[in-house]
Structure 1
């Protein structure tokens, strides 16, 4: 089960993808790596209006999406611009490609590492989690997050280390953090996302 709390701006799509092999045995093909460039042909493109709408979505609960806490999609633009956005694994590369060109932040977690029930909602003021292997943490108060039975585990800024994909991952749960201030963009991003995953041989099942 995945439930979504009422929110005046959130326009989200969540889905599961199942790969035929563990991610360690499925390197990204050249056509996918090529999509990690800003000038790659894509059905969507982001601009300042998109970036502003996404930030407004994250501000609604009181979170400040600036500085080190800006949406992940903005980091991708910077990394692609300076040539440091490289391949990680097939699942994350598809996520990064769609996020880069759509302007929507996207979370990808391993559902085997999450404990149901799953819920999308705003994190309480004292919430935080570790987001990388070195133990750095992010304060989550007021930020839209994906929750599992143990607490927040992903959001539009940084996903939790405990539920990230790994070499043995064969199934992923993806959340597109869209806003109804950008009508139709979340669905268009999902449609392209699904096409890319199916081109890789993965199967896709929508959850919200």
Structure 2
């Protein structure tokens, strides 16, 4: 169901999550929302070295991770610093909390909207997709992406609109975009991520 193309820097962790009820019936608990603050106690903390290593990972295929194309984890740091990182749903909040504190970008897609097989690899020349409800597109050429049968659907910058979580979501697929330049960090992030999800009653199954 899931494969990864060879890559000299990528150290991704991918897993499926099954929630006990649709996300509309699983409001984020207070302890999870509290983790969306940059000064919240967490087992990991990001710094400039982490940020640089993540950018190098995305830059390897020719993509330029700057400006509006910078890693999603950097947007979270800025939003949290401004007090603007609010709750969306339990799946996204857990993702954002781990990404904020680990410094690793993370993608989450709805498994009912994605069409298998799933694969991680570099997006080809001219690849784009719509990333929000207003129809804006991102050029993903040369960027590491999660692909389904219809093409790229998520990456470390912006996930696609067509596979995003929604009120009825019960199964998600997550990719932590780790790098070999930060050995062990993706595993640490996954361990904490799993604890948060299981604390909410979800079942986590790591992709082989």
Q: Which residue of 2 aligns with 1:157?
A: 157
Rounded Cα–Cα distance in structure 1 between residues aligned with 2:141 and 2:17: 29
SS for the counterpart of 2:73 is: helix
Q: Which residue of 1 aligns with 2:176?
A: 176
Rounded Cα–Cα distance in structure 2 between residues aligned with 1:171 and 1:116: 14
Q: Which residue of 2 aligns with 1:34?
A: 34
Rounded Cα–Cα distance in structure 2 between residues aligned with 1:110 and 1:46: 27
**1:136-170 alpha-carbon deviations (Å, 9 max, x no partner):** 00000000000001000000000000000000000
SS for the counterpart of 2:112 is: helix
SS for the counterpart of 1:96 is: helix
**1:104-153 alpha-carbon deviations (Å, 9 max, x no partner):** 00000001101111110000120000000000000000000000010000
Q: Does 1:195 align with 2:183?
A: no
Cα offset, 1:182, TM superposition: 0.1
Cα offset, 1:86, TM superposition: 0.1
Q: Which residue of 2 aligns with 1:101?
A: 101
Q: Does 1:207 align with 2:207?
A: yes
Unaligned runs of 5+ in 2: none
Q: Which residue of 1 aligns with 2:115?
A: 115
Q: Which residue of 2 aligns with 1:76?
A: 76
Q: Which residue of 2 aligns with 1:85?
A: 85
> What TM-score, normalized to structure 1?
0.99
> What TM-score, normalized to structure 2?
0.99
Q: Which residue of 1 aligns with 2:130?
A: 130
Unaligned runs of 5+ in 1: none
SS for the counterpart of 2:20 is: coil
> How many residues of Structure 1 are paired with residues of Structure 2 in the alignment?
208
RMSD: 0.4
Q: Which residue of 1 aligns with 2:57?
A: 57
The list of structure 1 runs, each at least 4 consecutive aligned residues, that deviate by more than 4 angstroms after superposition, is none
Q: Which residue of 2 aligns with 1:12?
A: 12
**1:57-110 alpha-carbon deviations (Å, 9 max, x no partner):** 000000000000000000000000001100000000000000000000000000
- Aligned residue runs from structure 1 range 136-151, under 5 A: 136-151=136-151
SS for the counterpart of 1:113 is: coil
Rounded Cα–Cα distance in structure 1 between residues aligned with 2:151 and 2:19: 27
Cα offset, 1:8, TM superposition: 0.1
Rounded Cα–Cα distance in structure 2 between residues aligned with 1:13 and 1:182: 13
